[in-house]
Structure 1
């Protein structure tokens, strides 16, 4: 996704307090007869829960490999689910938004959530989601649902380092969203995880550290979800924007079913060329800039791996499950196929789950379209007709997957 210049990470040597709270899941599970401990990762979570009164979180496949899906009319059809399964995809992540933000609103206007219907802004997308997940459940495809363009998020000012507009625009809406969604979808057999908020951010300023997110909104959102669904996996990412290099300031969350995630589009100016006003220039590998504000440097496999190393180190240090929940490059970027191959090989070498961004809606990211193919907003299938090397790389790895 399009991102601003990133903030610099807090030094890894600086101590970061664990995120704890009297109403954390540790307390919740203790009330059910489960011992309290800070644990993470699939093995630890399931070991904690075996023989306990609480039900286990869903068993994760040995490796999750798949892609992201954006919302548009027909984008979550059962036919799309069958296409995914045919490729071997075992996991999809859906960036869930209001009907208006997704262009699916019949009224073409924003509908406010209410106490009587807190999901009013999402009803068209919710109906489409349920049809899609019903098919996924039959096909063995797991679904991660991410809060993305939720009600009020478009009011957040990205130059507000205090976080006030973020807290006001997103805070109550996020809590209302997850409380209602957790109740609505609690028994959906395909949905194994909730991604608490896609790319949390509220400022371009480098010195801001995301305290409003880490200390206020994220813990509260987790409490709201756990009060309704104590076993679903929860995906979280660093502030801001999910940058892997911000894992130096990421807290370890006191909950046994957490997936730690990050997004990687490095170098950003290269991967996003042709998106909005970003010029189409630069080839990978080569001398490229991460952002306009940063100097040119040589980018190749080694520097690409270094851009994600803080996330890899965090996963090893804390023995947690790590996922690259978004990575992608525009299909016309010179060297695109090499970038995709390097990204996948690095993630595989580090035992990281991954989800490519993306094959549906706008086809600018889709490597199965020719570089010079017309840009379209909606395509009836995921496959654009071209078996490019980048597409074949993804397909080859998807076909290694185990089903849910």
Structure 2
């Protein structure tokens, strides 16, 4: 798979990752062949497939891998192959790490968890070795947040060293530290491997994209609508009262959010691409459904325009539900204009 073929994609969040309950009925129905055909028909060229490790590894018996979990992925690959869609296999949750479990994560400090991650990638590489490299790419781990970027860089190299003797030509995506922040691209170690694609996620300004999010304590407590283009009115006063949220929200105080702001905040990605003479990919971007529909459309339109200006491929979060969805639980398109903006 060439790096620049991943231009316009969408995530399948909530299917094999972040599911409400581990249930075969859910896995067999949440995404089906018709969904993949529909996505291709809309004009997307790839999907990002988030997968939590318990789907493919027995949590109670480490290194016991689950064929029924692999089979769900194989089904998706078959559907995408027939529809002409490329696939990024995103390991969304790993032994000892999940982006939404920061208080209990162990991966950075646990050699056992690190070795399980490396062994899991060996198992994944073997399982999908026969899959056309133009169909399937790997993404090592979603939204890592380590204290040290160097520790993450070291672990990335160990995973790649395990994959490459078996599969030298597979495209591998790597995101930086701090939840794949665009600012962390500069902290990534450049690996002398022609089949590495560096990536980031983009949810800025956070007070717009995650406004009133029930899983973000500061924004749940702020509980204000923030329009785009516009500003986070009342945020300065809120942070004076609750300074514990300054680290996550302080950047959004007294700032006009518009296309120029998005372009400025995406400069680290454009600069990284220019310095290293290679494309970058944005694996997630989007606006929560608690924002006004007009704000969602305005932000997505401007964000995609900035992607295009900088030659950045992208995958929207997310196709179905997950608080950011293009379609609802029943598969109904939430807003045709929003979809039209995404597919251009």
**Normalising by structure 2, what TM-score?**
0.81
Cα distance in 2, alignment partners of residues 233 and 314 from structure 1: 19
1:331, distance to aligned residue in structure 2 (A): 2.4
**Alignment match of 1:113 (pick from 35, 44, 62):** 62
1:82, distance to aligned residue in structure 2 (A): 1.0
Q: Any idea what SS the aligned residue of 1:148 has?
A: strand
Confirm whether residue 153 of structure 1 aligns to residue 97 of structure 2: yes
**Offset from partner CA, 1:310-341 (integer Å, 9 cap, x none):** 11111011111211111011123131110000
Partner of 1:141: 85
Query: Taking CA–CA contacts closer than 8 Å with sequence separation of 6 or more, which of the two structures ends up with the larger relative contact order?
Result: 1
Cα distance in 2, alignment partners of residues 59 and 144 from structure 1: 13
1:124, distance to aligned residue in structure 2 (A): 4.0
1:83, distance to aligned residue in structure 2 (A): 1.3
- Structure 2 unaligned regions, length at least 5: 20-25, 236-246
Q: CA 1:134–1:367 in 2, change beyond 3 Å: closer, same or farther?
A: closer
Q: CA 1:298–1:155 in 2, change beyond 3 Å: closer, same or farther?
A: closer
Cα distance in 2, alignment partners of residues 268 and 337 from structure 1: 16
Partner of 2:269: 311
Confirm whether residue 327 of structure 1 aligns to residue 270 of structure 2: no
Partner of 2:208: 270
Tell me, yes or no, if the aligned pair for 2:202 and 2:285 is still in contact at 8 Å: yes
**Residue correspondences, number:** 308
1:229, distance to aligned residue in structure 2 (A): 0.6
Cα distance in 2, alignment partners of residues 182 and 361 from structure 1: 30
Tell me, yes or no, if the aligned pair for 1:284 and 1:300 is still in contact at 8 Å: yes
Tell me, yes or no, if the aligned pair for 1:263 and 1:324 is still in contact at 8 Å: yes
- Structure 1 unaligned regions, length at least 5: 1-57, 203-207, 370-378, 398-404
Q: Any idea what SS the aligned residue of 2:228 has?
A: coil
Q: CA 1:187–1:244 in 2, change beyond 3 Å: closer, same or farther?
A: same
Q: CA 1:149–1:164 in 2, change beyond 3 Å: closer, same or farther?
A: closer
Q: Any idea what SS the aligned residue of 1:394 has?
A: helix
Q: Any idea what SS the aligned residue of 2:256 has?
A: strand
Cα distance in 1, alignment partners of residues 107 and 324 from structure 2: 31
Confirm whether residue 85 of structure 1 aligns to residue 37 of structure 2: no
Q: CA 1:94–1:193 in 2, change beyond 3 Å: closer, same or farther?
A: same
Partner of 2:249: 292
Q: Any idea what SS the aligned residue of 2:248 has?
A: coil
Tell me, yes or no, if the aligned pair for 2:52 and 2:91 is still in contact at 8 Å: yes
Q: CA 1:83–1:174 in 2, change beyond 3 Å: closer, same or farther?
A: same
Q: Any idea what SS the aligned residue of 2:93 has?
A: coil
Partner of 1:251: 189
Confirm whether residue 212 of structure 1 aligns to residue 151 of structure 2: yes
- C-alpha RMSD of the superposition: 2.7
Cα distance in 2, alignment partners of residues 385 and 159 from structure 1: 35
1:212, distance to aligned residue in structure 2 (A): 1.2
1:156, distance to aligned residue in structure 2 (A): 9.8
1:164, distance to aligned residue in structure 2 (A): 6.5
Tell me, yes or no, if the aligned pair for 1:67 and 1:92 is still in contact at 8 Å: yes
Q: CA 1:110–1:75 in 2, change beyond 3 Å: closer, same or farther?
A: same
Confirm whether residue 352 of structure 1 aligns to residue 312 of structure 2: yes
1:149, distance to aligned residue in structure 2 (A): 1.2
1:60, distance to aligned residue in structure 2 (A): 5.2
Cα distance in 1, alignment partners of residues 138 and 91 from structure 2: 8
Cα distance in 2, alignment partners of residues 83 and 337 from structure 1: 21
**Alignment match of 1:166 (pick from 103, 108, 115):** 108
Cα distance in 1, alignment partners of residues 231 and 100 from structure 2: 34
Cα distance in 2, alignment partners of residues 185 and 243 from structure 1: 29
